[in-house]
Structure formats: structure tokens, C-alpha cells
């Protein structure tokens, strides 16, 4: 047990790369492939897919992106048909990035009719259309966050004798849930059963999250029971979503009951560290950090030990609510088990600084050093930065020395420069010389914005030897 006392008073610029696509001929290769594709597309604007199938092209992201850019100005429909065709090729699959690019370049959000126009063109040309082609369109609807457009595309599948699968339904269901139109999503889920499709875990997770997000907790609980009835076993993800809704719209007692039910589950349904930490965080965000302490107790009783993140969230929540004494108590109770005193007190320092209590944070920080603990880099850098901001240069230097003596703690490089400039400005040249020597030993460079100011003050003070040291650490 560590004794707590509150009376202690004692950048390098990246080099510009010489790498160039054109240097290796790659840019010209991409441009050449795109040029050939464009020439081919323009010669065969009807039945684009059959035309493309006859020509062998090696597809890649850069080439497809170039074609979309060229089509975006006056031939967006052709660009979309090319994009759909490319997404079906055996040696290529569109990435999430590429869907984003297509949505942006073809302006799907602003001009959703482009998708309808392409579907109608398929009909007019009597093209062979597959489920996979419709899925590419559905993913574009998802990228555009247009649930109604996605539903229209889903309905069009039947007109082309393409039977939607569970994945197709899931895309549209998820979009409606994100729009908080959960009733529409649940209708689609019921519709799946009418065509011998069964909701999978992704379906249930999407709808459950939608219900939880709007506070329909009873419906969410019924859905979890329905999952079990259909042989889809709820896992920690499912329960975590439900717990999140209970925390926001329910009560602490219901959350603890839910955790208790999870604790009785077998396999993947048991609560884990992530589950408990998420609940603690949610209560702290709602200004109920004392309730979060009860969750911490239940977590420990279940045998799940908190980690640094759990404690950091809880300590910060207590401090934000002004319950600093409680923060000390929880550190005394938990630190030394699965989380070190160093980590807990470092979190406390950062939380105190966040609420503007520099004096209290400084006392805790000095206590850490006096008791032989090692503050982490974030706490060390933030304390020093705050002391520099209020012009307490000598105090900052003394703390810097203490940090250096405490062990291998990483301090942000710019803080050394800020501190050295401040000491020189105050003409505290003896201490400035010590810091300059320390910087030389650590290989820390004096950053460019501070060089001129530091050198000017030193020259005016006839400190040639220190000027020489500074020149060795100037970036």
C-alpha cells in the first residue's frame, strides 16, 4: 500500500520522398490501361458488359478510379455499369475505399436516379443480370446511406428473377436501422421468412442495435429471446448492444440484472472485460460515476479484472463530477491487482488537468515521483506543458529532472524546446545549460521555431559555451 499525501511541495520534419509512380512507369501504366478501357467503352456504349468480357484487362484500384473520374463528367451511367462489371471479375474485388470513391465520383447521393437508370438500361437491353450485380448496387446505396434507394433496388431484384439472399436483405435492414426506422427493418426481417430465408447474426445485431438506439428495450429483449428460439445463440456482442441501450434508457438495476443473466450464460454469452468497461464508460458519460463503481464491484466479483482503460474511464468520470476523494478511494481499492499504481495515478493526473486542477495534479505527480513510481509519458508531458503555459519554467525543469530520474519515461520532444526557450527568456542560464546538456545526452534536437530566440538570448548574455551546446542540438 502506498501512502497518499497532498502536501509535497518539493519534432523532426519528415524528409520528402523521392518515390514517384512516374519514375517507375506505374502512373503511365495505370493511365494507359484506363485509356484503353475508355476507348473500348466509348466504342461500345450499349451492352457494355458483353463488350468488356471480350477484352482482357488487368484491373486494379488505380485503373478503375481513373475510369470513374473520366466517366463522371458526362457519362456517369457508363461509369456505373463499368464499376458493376469490374466488381464481378474473378481476380478483383472492390474495397470499401473503392465503393466510397465510386459514390463520390458518380455523385450517387446527389443523383440517386443513376442507379435506377442503369437498372432500366439492363431491362431495355435485355441484359443478363445476376444477384452479385445487384449486391454491388446495394453496397453503393449503403455507401450513400440511402435506405429507400436500397429498398427499391431490393424490390427490382425480383423483377429480374434474381432471388435476394440474406446478405442482400441485411444491407437494407442495416440501413433502415441506422436511420432509426426500425419498424421498416423488422418488416423486412419478417419478409425473409416468407421466402425461406432466415435471419443470421448480422440481421439480429443490426435490428437489436436499432431498437436499443431508440430505447425500445422491451422489443429488444423479446428479439433476443426470439434469436434463441431460432437457434441463433446470443453472444457477448448481442448482450453488449442490449446493455448499452439499458444503460442509456433503463436503470442501473436493470443493467446489473442483465450482467447477472450474462454471467450465468455459457460459452460466448458471458460478459468480458470489454463488456464491463463499456457499461462503466456509459454510466460515467451520463454523469453516474457512483453507479459505475457498483458495476466495477460486480465485475471484480465475477472474476473479471479491470484494466488500465477501465480505471482511466472510471477515474475520469469521478473527477469530472467533482468526486476526487472517491477517485483516490477506488485507486486504493483496485491498484496493485491487475492495474499498477503508476497507471492509476497517471490517469488521475490527466483527469485533474482536464478539469483545470493544476495544483492538485502537480501534488499527485510529485507524490508519484517521491514514492518511486513511474508516471507514464502522457501524464509527464501534460504536466510539464501546463507548467510551461503558466510560465513556471524552473518548477517545470525540476519536475523534468525528477521524471528523468524515475526511469525510461518518454516526454514529448517539443517540451524540451519550449522549456529551454522559457529558461533563456528568464535569463536562468545555469539551469538552461543543464537542460541543454540533458538534451545533448538524450539526442533531443532543439526544434526550429525556438532556435533563433534561444540563441539571441544566449548571445546577449555572452554564454558562448552554451551557444556551442545549443548548435549541437539544433534541428
Maximum pairwise Cα distance, the chain: 90
Query: How many CB atoms neighbour CB 247 within 10 A?
Result: 26
How does pLDDT run across 347-405, given as a tens digit for each residue? 999 999 999 999 999 999 999 999 999 999 999 999 999 999 999 999 999 999 999 88
pLDDT of residue 58: 78
**Could you give the angle at the alpha carbon of 340 between the alpha carbons of 360 and 301, nearest 5°?**
110
Average pLDDT of the chain, as a whole number? 87
78 within a domain of the structure (yes/no): yes
101 within a domain of the structure (yes/no): yes
In a 3-state reduction of DSSP, which class is residue 255?
helix
116 within a domain of the structure (yes/no): yes
What are 132's three cell numbers? 452479385
Q: Which residue in 268, 278, 265, 266 sits closest to 307, CA to CA? A: 278
Q: What's the total number of domains in the chain?
A: 1
pLDDT of residue 45: 61
278 within a domain of the structure (yes/no): no
What are 178's three cell numbers? 441506422
Give the span between the Cα atoms of 305 and 318, in whole angstroms: 19
Query: How many CB atoms neighbour CB 265 within 10 A?
Result: 15
47 within a domain of the structure (yes/no): yes
358 within a domain of the structure (yes/no): no
In a 3-state reduction of DSSP, which class is residue 361?
helix
**DSSP bridge partners of 474:** 446
Give the span between the Cα atoms of 296 and 279, in whole angstroms: 9
DSSP letter at 22 equals G
362 within a domain of the structure (yes/no): no
Query: Among residues of the chain, what percentage have pLDDT more than 70?
Result: 90
How does pLDDT run across 217-270, given as a tens digit for each residue? 999 999 998 888 888 888 888 888 988 898 888 788 888 888 888 888 777 788
Q: Which residue in 337, 357, 250, 356 sits closest to 296, CA to CA? A: 337
What are 174's three cell numbers? 442495416
Return all residues near 343 (Cβ < 8 A) that are at least 6 apart: 308, 311, 312, 335, 376
Yes or no: say if 13 and 414 are a contact pair by the CB < 8 Å rule.
no
pLDDT of residue 201: 94
How does pLDDT run across 287-339, given as a tens digit for each residue? 999 999 999 999 999 999 999 999 999 999 999 999 999 999 999 999 999 99
Query: How many CB atoms neighbour CB 179 within 10 A?
Result: 15
DSSP letter at 379 equals H
38 within a domain of the structure (yes/no): yes
Yes or no: say if 428 and 458 are a contact pair by the CB < 8 Å rule.
no
Range 22-38 burial, b when 16+ CB lie within 10 A, else e = eeeeeeeebeebbeebb
DSSP letter at 446 equals B
How does pLDDT run across 213-230, given as a tens digit for each residue? 999 999 999 999 888 888
Give the span between the Cα atoms of 132 and 168, in whole angstroms: 9
Q: Is the pLDDT of residue 437 over 70?
A: yes
How does pLDDT run across 43-72, given as a tens digit for each residue? 666 677 877 877 777 788 988 999 999 998
Whole-model pTM?
A: 0.72
Residue 461 — very low, low, confident or very high, per pLDDT cuts 50/70/90?
low
* Domain, as residue range, for 147: 26-162
Q: Is the pLDDT of residue 127 over 70?
A: yes
- Residue owning grid cell 425473409: 192
Amino acid at each position: 500500500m502506498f501512502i497518499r499525501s497532498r502536501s509535497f511541495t518539493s519534432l523532426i520534419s519528415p524528409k520528402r520522398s523521392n518515390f514517384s509512380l512516374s519514375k517507375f512507369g506505374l502512373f503511365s501504366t495505370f493511365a494507359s490501361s484506363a485509356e484503353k478501357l475508355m476507348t473500348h467503352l466509348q466504342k461500345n456504349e450499349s451492352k457494355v458488359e458483353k463488350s468488356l468480357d471480350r477484352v482482357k484487362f488487368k484491373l486494379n484500384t488505380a485503373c478503375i478510379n481513373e475510369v470513374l473520374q473520366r466517366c463522371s463528367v458526362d457519362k456517369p451511367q457508363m461509369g456505373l455499369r463499368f464499376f458493376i462489371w469490374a466488381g464481378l471479375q474473378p481476380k478483383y474485388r472492390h474495397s470499401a475505399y473503392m465503393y466510397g470513391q465510386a459514390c463520390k465520383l458518380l455523385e450517387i447521393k446527389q443523383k440517386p436516379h443513376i442507379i435506377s437508370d442503369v437498372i432500366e438500361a439492363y431491362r431495355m437491353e435485355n441484359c443478363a443480370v445476376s444477384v452479385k450485380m445487384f449486391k454491388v448496387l446495394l453496397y453503393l446505396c449503403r455507401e450513400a446511406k440511402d435506405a429507400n434507394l436500397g429498398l427499391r433496388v431490393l424490390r427490382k431484384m425480383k423483377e429480374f428473377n434474381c432471388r435476394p439472399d440474406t446478405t442482400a436483405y441485411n444491407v437494407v435492414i442495416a440501413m433502415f436501422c441506422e436511420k432509426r426506422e426500425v419498424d421498416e427493418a423488422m418488416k423486412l426481417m419478417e419478409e425473409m421468412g416468407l421466402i425461406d430465408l432466415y435471419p443470421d447474426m448480422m440481421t439480429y445485431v443490426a435490428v437489436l442495435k436499432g431498437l436499443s438506439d431508440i430505447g425500445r428495450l422491451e422489443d429488444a429483449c423479446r428479439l433476443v429471446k426470439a434469436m434463441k428460439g431460432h437457434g441463433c445463440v446470443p453472444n457477448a456482442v448481442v448482450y453488449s448492444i442490449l446493455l448499452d441501450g439499458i444503460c442509456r434508457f433503463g436503470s442501473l438495476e436493470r443493467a446489473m440484472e442483465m450482467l447477472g443473466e450474462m454471467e450465468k450464460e455459457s460459452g460466448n454469452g458471458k460478459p468480458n472485460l470489454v463488456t464491463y468497461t463499456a457499461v462503466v464508460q456509459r454510466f460515467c458519460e451520463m454523469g453516474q460515476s457512483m453507479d459505475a463503481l457498483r458495476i466495477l464491484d460486480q465485475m471484480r466479483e465475477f472474476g473479471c479484472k479491470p484494466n488500465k482503460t477501465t480505471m482511466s474511464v472510471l477515474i475520469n468520470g469521478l473527477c469530472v463530477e467533482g468526486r476526487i476523494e472517491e477517485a483516490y478511494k477506488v485507486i486504493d481499492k483496485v491498484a496493485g491487482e491487475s492495474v499498477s499504481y503508476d497507471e492509476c495515478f497517471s490517469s488521475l493526473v490527466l483527469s485533474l488537468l482536464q478539469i483545470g486542477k493544476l495544483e492538485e495534479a502537480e501534488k499527485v505527480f510529485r507524490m508519484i515521483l517521491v514514492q518511486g513510481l513511474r508516471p507514464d509519458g502522457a501524464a509527464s508531458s501534460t504536466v510539464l506543458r501546463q507548467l510551461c503555459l503558466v510560465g513556471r519554467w524552473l518548477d517545470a525543469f525540476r519536475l523534468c529532472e525528477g521524471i528523468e530520474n524515475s526511469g525510461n519515461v518518454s516526454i514529448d520532444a517539443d517540451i524540451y524546446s519550449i522549456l529551454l526557450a522559457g529558461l533563456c527568456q528568464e535569463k536562468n542560464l545555469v539551469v538552461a545549460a543543464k537542460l541543454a546538456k540533458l538534451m545533448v545526452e538524450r539526442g533531443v534536437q532543439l526544434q526550429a521555431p525556438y532556435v533563433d530566440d534561444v540563441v539571441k538570448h544566449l548571445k546577449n548574455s555572452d554564454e558562448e559555451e552554451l551557444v556551442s551546446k545549443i548548435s549541437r542540438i539544433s534541428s
